[in-house]
């Protein structure tokens, strides 16, 4: 909902009263029609705790995450009005990916390495193709073009390329080294060393984004918009909603196996396409909302920062976590998956390098995602 349609909420007049706890709560629960679906939160939790069938648990938790994702985006935007779009986008991406990191570590403990790898790849693809596609499409329907920071776009493009390189090198190494134990140990050691390098790069990226080149990542200040919730309420709301999203995501993931068996869905399709749609629901909703408000730096920041966090933070942390708990988590993906990621990043880099977007570019990204989704749907299970 645009602030312009609610003068009381978006006005910058000096005579407007400061937000209070009760006004903050009222705005938070009435700012979007998506909040009607909040009724599914207790319903989903109830059915999950009593042990309902997996398809029921999956469906209810899937629906429950939608309004929570929208509310997470609202809380992030409220914080961004105080902290700036750079930190706001970073907060949104971080809280969205915290769910995947926790679930990834849990899956690693169970030895589900392929599931973890599939979720990593799917998260990157959904952010750079599906989320950006909808942002460019819906944001560009009422505008000829939308502009964003060229420095931010080029930096994101370079870091995405480095993420792909970190997966291409182990794949090439495996092709040359063969299938012996020495080759397996080499891939594991290479992945662990690469993960340390990627974590260092991520720290440098944060310094670049938040300290030395902040001006290139900020949206222009809209003087018509002021916070409609208190700072403390926004922070507590962000943490609380992220906790509920994590809880629902855990129930949803736990029901995946039963859904695959009863619905006859390809497990690879679920892990790479369907699961990331839920895990990244917060970024999906908030990014599109920002794009429709023409806050493209914030939109690009949320979508691409989430992908970069997956590639430069979540993946290395999971590799290192597997190192400590004795699980051979590596950055070696299947050739089919690596090629798809390479081609996807190549397309995205071409489209964002001019720091402009339009609805057609959004349609192209969505078309690419649809083709990839069909490929994984029909991909045979090994």
Helices (H) and strands (E) in the chain, counts: 18, 2
pLDDT of residue 9: 39
Cβ atoms of residues 219 and 75 within 8 Å = no
Taking alpha carbons only, the member of 95, 97, 215 closest to residue 155 is 215
Q: What is the DSSP string of 42-84?
A: HHHHHHHHTT--HHHHHHHHHHHHHHHHHHHHHHHHHHHHHH-
Parallel, antiparallel, or unpaired for β 146-147 and 356-357? antiparallel
User: Token pair for residue 160?
Assistant: 């995405």
pLDDT of residue 92: 60
d(CA 75, CA 357): 26
Give me the sign of the Cα torsion angle 165, 166, 168, 174.
Answer: positive
d(CA 332, CA 109): 19
Cα 177 from chain centroid (whole Å): 34
d(CA 243, CA 52): 22
Q: What is the DSSP string of 340-377?
A: HHHHHHHHHHHHHTTSEE-HHHHHHHHHHHHHHHHHHH
Q: Which residues pair with 290 in a beta bridge?
A: none
Q: Which residues pair with 146 in a beta bridge?
A: 357
d(CA 267, CA 69): 25
Packing angle between helix 181-207 and helix 150-177, nearest 10 degrees? 170
- Note down pLDDT in tens along the chain; length 382 residues: 444 334 433 444 455 677 787 888 888 888 777 788 889 999 999 999 998 888 899 889 888 887 887 787 788 778 777 776 667 666 666 665 666 777 777 778 777 787 788 888 888 898 889 888 988 998 888 888 888 877 777 888 888 889 889 988 988 888 887 777 888 889 999 999 999 999 999 888 888 877 787 776 665 545 566 778 888 888 888 888 878 887 887 788 778 778 778 877 776 777 788 777 766 666 677 778 888 888 887 787 777 877 888 888 888 999 998 888 888 888 888 888 888 999 999 898 888 888 888 899 999 999 999 999 888 888 776 5
Under DSSP, the state recorded for 302 is H
Q: Other C-beta atoms within 10 Å of 382: how many?
A: 6
pLDDT of residue 177: 78
Which domains does the chain show, CATH number per domain?
3-378 (1.20.1420.30)
pLDDT of residue 225: 65
Q: Where are the alpha helices (DSSP H) in 141-180?
A: 150-177
φ, ψ (nearest 5 deg) of residue 146: -125, 140
What pTM was estimated for this model as a whole? 0.75
pLDDT of residue 198: 93
φ, ψ (nearest 5 deg) of residue 357: -140, 155
d(CA 100, CA 252): 12
pLDDT of residue 68: 84
């Amino acid at each position: 909902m645009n602030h312009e349609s609610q003068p009381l909420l978006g006005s910058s007049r000096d005579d407007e009263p400061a937000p209070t706890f009760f006004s903050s709560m009222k705005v938070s629960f009435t700012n979007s029609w998506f909040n009607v679906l909040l009724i599914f939160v207790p319903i989903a939790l109830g059915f999950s705790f009593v042990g309902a069938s997996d398809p029921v648990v999956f469906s209810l938790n899937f629906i429950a995450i939608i309004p929570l994702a929208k509310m997470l985006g609202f809380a992030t935007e409220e914080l961004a009005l105080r902290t700036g779009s750079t930190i706001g986008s970073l907060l949104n991406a971080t809280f969205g990916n915290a769910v995947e990191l926790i679930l990834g570590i849990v899956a690693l403990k169970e030895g589900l390495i392929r599931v973890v790898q599939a979720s990593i790849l799917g998260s990157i693809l959904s952010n750079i193709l599906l989320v950006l596609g909808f942002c460019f499409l819906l944001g560009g329907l009422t505008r000829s073009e939308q502009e964003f920071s060229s420095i931010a776009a080029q930096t994101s493009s370079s870091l995405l390329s480095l993420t792909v390189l970190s997966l291409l090198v182990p794949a090439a190494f495996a092709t040359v080294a063969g299938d012996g134990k020495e080759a397996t140990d080499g891939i594991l050691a290479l992945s662990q060393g690469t993960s340390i390098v990627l974590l260092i790069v991520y720290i440098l990226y944060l310094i670049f984004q938040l300290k030395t080149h902040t001006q290139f990542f900020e949206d222009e200040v809209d003087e018509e918009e002021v916070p409609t919730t208190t700072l403390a309420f926004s922070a507590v709301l962000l943490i609380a909603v992220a906790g509920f999203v994590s809880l629902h995501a855990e129930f949803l993931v736990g029901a995946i196996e039963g859904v695959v068996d009863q619905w006859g869905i390809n497990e690879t399709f679920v892990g790479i396409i369907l699961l990331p749609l839920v895990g990244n629901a917060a970024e999906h909703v908030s990014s599109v909302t920002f794009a429709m408000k023409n806050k493209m730096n914030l939109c690009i920041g949320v979508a691409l920062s989430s992908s970069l966090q997956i590639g430069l933070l979540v993946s290395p942390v999971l590799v290192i976590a597997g190192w400590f708990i004795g699980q051979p988590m590596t950055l070696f993906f299947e050739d089919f998956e690596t090629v798809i990621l390479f081609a996807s990043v190549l397309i995205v880099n071409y489209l964002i390098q001019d720091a402009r977007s339009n609805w057609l570019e959004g349609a192209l990204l969505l078309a690419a995602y649809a083709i990839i989704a069909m490929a994984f749907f029909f991909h045979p299970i090994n």
